[in-house]
Amino acid sequence: MTPHETQPDDDACYLALKARDARFDGCFFTAVTSTGIYCRPVCRVRTPKRENCRFFVHAAQAESAGFRPCLRCRPELAPRTPAASAGVDARAWSIQDASSILAGQAAHLLDTPDAWGEATPTVRQLAQRLGVSDRHLRRIFEAQFGVSPLQYLQTRRLLSAKQLLTDTTLAVTQVAHLSGFASVRRFNAAFTQHYALNPTQLRREGGSRAKGASDPGIHVRLAYRPPYDVDAMLQFLATRQIAGMEDVSLAPGDQSLRKTVAVQYAGKRHTGWLVARFDAAASRVDLRVSDSLRDVLPWVMSRMRALLDLDADPRAINSLLHAHFPLGDGLRVPGTLDGFELAVRAILGQQVTVAAARTLATRLVTRFGEALDTPFPGLNRLFPAAATLAGASGDALGQLGIVKQRQAAIQALASAVAQQRLPLHAGADVAATIAALKELPGVGDWTAQYIAMRALRWPDAFPAGDVALHKALGVQDSKSPAREAQAASHAWQPWRSYAVIRAWASLPVVSRNRQTTADAIK
């Protein structure tokens, strides 16, 4: 199956279903005509007969055909489908026609809470965002996905509600609100119509796990497709962790990340903490979020999926990159919970080692970060808000060891973000954001591409001026290493971000941890 296929290969799907192959989780769903239920390919129930199976690429297609989600394998936990998570600009999907690209962008925007803030998107708003008419958007979306944008969004909301009802003890009214429903009445009606049981019944049948959770906080599950190199992801984050706001554990049996969190939503800054613990045997992450973040739980879950790159489809990526990087099949592109934080850290990392950048970031958090109480010793600060750094004096930043050129870059970035002129999240327009970043003083192509790779979640970002990348590609002694790296990268489109991560991983640790760049200080 290709990333933009609407109709899956039924025979291939049935073989994956029989094998319960987790690599296909979320890439298709099996609907069983004899039961009226649709499942993930990893469902542990007895494999249905071939003649009773119908296969769909999207859960919305299965629900539109009248099937209900399985209460055992829980389709709402599946990683997002590649087409829905491929919200990249047209250059990254040059092999697809324009309609396929546009439909994929629309689905990505519907899947990304950050793209709309507190608003509930309409088809008209979605069409305006993409620069097309309502009618044209509906036509290409239905041709690509087999359902209308509203049906797609409705399924996303209902599955989100189903997960919150099953995994948490949140009140039904709050679940309705967090899932994007305008009223509890509409939520109850839609839920009952689609799933043949009301929200309270579902909670009685499937919500016992939430009530039995012993650790404080809200517990939810996030699945991913193997292979996933958990050690590599956590080692990348551990090398860059900031004291006071992050704590990475690589211990066997406790491969986890603890982190403080701040989410700006509805004019309010919500703060708290989270713990993400990998369960590699089950191909999932068990996420625990502080109660203080319950009003922004869907945003935290979405950003956590981005931070750990849980929606990547290794089959599609490896089919292109394995021959070039045979040891990197399980590597993912680390993201971020906060695009502004990542951008500041990228600026601090210009032309210095990772260790030096981490030292500067730790000083910045200690000096300007808000204090926060958490249950974890040593985890007690938040990353500074954009407004705080925008108002910081040059002298105060200079006392931390930040040179004047980077002071100007950080202050310009902070002002743009604080004034909401520069969105730095997965729902932002990639080309426009890269261009806006490069207009800031002290931000060149390397920094903009690095931010696009990790904060904007662009799978085809390529920091051609990266010195470590030159070494990994063996072009460091060339007269024009950036140009040679750029030329070599064409073979890796549209997955150049993953190629960069694999190239970096191929270097010895000492070389890998030099975050040098070719950015010119403006």
Q: Would residue 287 count as lying in a domain?
A: yes
Supply the pLDDT for residue 5.
Answer: 46
Q: Would residue 363 count as lying in a domain?
A: no
**Across the chain, how many H-helices and E-strands are there?**
24, 11
Q: Would residue 240 count as lying in a domain?
A: yes
Q: Would residue 51 count as lying in a domain?
A: yes
**pLDDT for residue 514 is more than 80:** no
Average pLDDT in the chain = 90
Are 99 and 177 members of one domain?
yes
Residues paired with residue 263 on neighbouring β-strands, in sequence order: 270
Supply the pLDDT for residue 3.
Answer: 38
Supply the pLDDT for residue 513.
Answer: 54
Supply the pLDDT for residue 129.
Answer: 86
Are 157 and 130 members of one domain?
yes
Supply the pLDDT for residue 515.
Answer: 53
Q: What element of type H or E holds 420?
A: none
Q: Would residue 468 count as lying in a domain?
A: no
Supply the pLDDT for residue 519.
Answer: 58
For the segment 343-367, the average pLDDT, to the nearest whole number, is 96
% of the chain at pLDDT higher than 70: 90
**pLDDT for residue 87 is more than 60:** no
Are 205 and 97 members of one domain?
yes
* pLDDT per residue as tens digits for the range 1-53: 443 445 678 999 999 999 999 999 999 999 999 999 999 999 999 999 999 99
For the segment 138-159, the average pLDDT, to the nearest whole number, is 92
Q: Would residue 83 count as lying in a domain?
A: no
* Higher pLDDT, residue 228 or 427: 228
Please identify, among 158, 174, 209, the residue that sits at the C-terminal boundary of a domain: 209
Which residues are catalytic, by number? Answer: 39, 466
* pLDDT per residue as tens digits for the range 161-176: 999 999 999 999 999 9
**pLDDT for residue 90 is more than 50:** no
For the segment 475-498, the average pLDDT, to the nearest whole number, is 95
Supply the pLDDT for residue 476.
Answer: 93
Are 296 and 221 members of one domain?
yes
Please identify, among 162, 193, 209, the residue that sits at the C-terminal boundary of a domain: 209
* pLDDT per residue as tens digits for the range 434-461: 999 999 999 999 999 999 999 999 999 9
**Rounded alpha-carbon distances, angstroms, from residue 7 to 3, 94, 144, 215, 307:** 11, 21, 9, 43, 30
Are 232 and 129 members of one domain?
no
* Higher pLDDT, residue 128 or 435: 435
For the segment 297-323, the average pLDDT, to the nearest whole number, is 95
Structural domain harbouring 105: 93-209
**pLDDT for residue 319 is more than 60:** yes
Are 221 and 191 members of one domain?
no
Give the total number of structural domains in the chain: 3
Are 247 and 168 members of one domain?
no
Are 54 and 108 members of one domain?
no
* pLDDT per residue as tens digits for the range 375-395: 999 999 999 999 999 999 999
> Is there a contact between 242 and 299 (Cβ–Cβ < 8 Å)?
no
Q: What is the dihedral of CA 376, 377, 378, 382, to 10 degrees?
A: 30
* Higher pLDDT, residue 118 or 518: 118
Are 293 and 191 members of one domain?
no
Coil, strand or helix at 390 = helix
Tokens representing 130 are 């993409």
Its pTM stands at: 0.91
Please, which residues have CB within 8 angstroms of residue 201's CB and are 6 or more apart in sequence? none
> Is there a contact between 271 and 382 (Cβ–Cβ < 8 Å)?
yes
Please identify, among 209, 227, 254, the residue that sits at the C-terminal boundary of a domain: 209
Q: Would residue 169 count as lying in a domain?
A: yes
- Domain with 22 in it: what CATH number? 3.40.10.10
> Is there a contact between 23 and 317 (Cβ–Cβ < 8 Å)?
no
Sign of CA dihedral 271, 275, 278, 283: negative
Lowest mean pLDDT of 73-87, 274-288, 325-339, name the range.
73-87
Name, of 117-131, 188-202, 353-367, the range with top average pLDDT. 353-367
**pLDDT for residue 110 is more than 90:** no
- Domain with 108 in it: what CATH number? 1.10.10.60
